[in-house]
Amino acid sequence: MANLLHISSLFHLFCLFHLVCVAKSQSFIGINYGQVADNLPAPEATAKLLQSTSIQKVRLYGSDPAIIKALANTGIGIMIGVANGDIPAMASDQNFAKGWLTTNVLPFYPASKIIVINVGNEVMSTNDQNLMANLLPAMQNMQNALNEVSIGGKIKVSTVHSMAVMKQSDPPSSGTFDPNIGDLLKGLLEFNKATGSPFAINPYPFFAYRDDPRPDTLAFCLFQPNAGRVDAGSKIKYTNMFDAQVDAIRSALNAMGFKEVEIVIAETGWPYKGDSNEVGPSIENAKAYNGNLIAHLRSMVGTPLMPGTSVDTYLFAMYDEDLKPGPTSERSFGLFKPDLTMTYDIGLSKANNQVPTPKTPMTPSPEQAPKAPMTPSSGQTPRTPVTPSSNSTGTPATPVLVPTPNTTVTPVSPKTEKSVKAGVSDAQLQANINLGILVLSQILWYPMLLHM
């Protein structure tokens, strides 16, 4: 009988551990909810849809009260944003920060689980010296406003960067920030370190493939089997672009003395449709990238420089934003349609956490891809429309084009022994983990049955 109770206790502890792991594995999957569109469903419908998925966090570019209110009592973490245009006033006037907080946070918190206030979006890539200089004072005033109402330790203050803040990202071990913004960036990072807020950034392997559309680059970007790329500095072999870009950011932070600052991926995604002259957009590629990324995060493998953990990652995006300017791809990142159905299935539904993804990368047709690999010139940087932050009334601001990183960060890098072996996808790894859990549960149950 004692053995039976002991085995039963072990089994229940195992079940509890498994449930905690599963819950934790979903906690870092977020999504961007942009509003540069005229066909979006009601916020209440979106909140209900999110609750049917494993998405646990939402990033808003503004502070639309209707959306914040709709997410009340859902347990979903919310990132909200201060518009770039509000930064100068917030920097110069503490009362402006207090007023912003009174209007956009206090009426909803804590029922609406606001976790981060991003002051500005990709400000350090605007080349607007006045705006860049005002960013840190604005963040400090927002932090002071939060402290005054005793929620400064509960809601973090940060800002979101594009990969253009990186001077070097290939190989990952040589990752460094642009020295032209070094002093300003150091001040921001000191703020992140002092307050425990994350360094939020937007890596897009899609742009790396767009600038180097070879078949092996596509497989590398989509987490699919490939030869890997070896970092000449660290000798680490990387098998996917996401890990390489994240580790380049980690290296840059470490080089500046900010090893303690957490990285958050504020945006990443892949368009499912593009113009005839665009290389890379397709349903198959979007499904492979997003689906394999989710499997990678759930596997808890981490990156070679940050093994055994997964960074908070906000997928781009909830819906297409049909009013965005630029090529078709800019309006084709949505994982869900306005009628609330999936654009394609990547296993986000709570009813189905399996990730169905194609086994082989979809190479572009001859008329789409150049005959020879394209190496962008040193001055070339991909440009992507930044979803404008909403003002305090929730009205989208005018779309602004901001340069994004030259992701030709042909990252390289093999995974360490703690990582997945080359040729084994993250989806396969997750399946193996699930199988192991099933087998272990059967082993634990079997002695119990013998004593019944």
Distances (CA, A) of 416 to 239, 286, 411: 10, 27, 15
Task: State how far the Cα of 284 lies from the Cα of 276, in Å rounded to an integer.
Answer: 16
CA dihedral 428, 50, 100, 154 (to 10 degrees): -60
Quote the tokens at residue 367.
């008329």
Beta bridge partners of 57: 30, 77
Task: State how far the Cα of 97 lies from the Cα of 353, in Å rounded to an integer.
Answer: 41
Length of the chain equals: 452
Are 347 and 29 in contact, with CB atoms under 8 Å apart?
no
Task: State how far the Cα of 299 lies from the Cα of 315, in Å rounded to an integer.
Answer: 17
Is the omega angle on the peptide bond into residue 370 within 30 degrees of 0, that is, cis?
no
Are 271 and 335 in contact, with CB atoms under 8 Å apart?
no
Catalytic residue positions, numbered: 122, 267
Quote the tokens at residue 376.
């962008």
User: Which uninterrupted H or E stretch holds 416?
Assistant: none
Helices (H) and strands (E) in the chain, counts: 12, 16
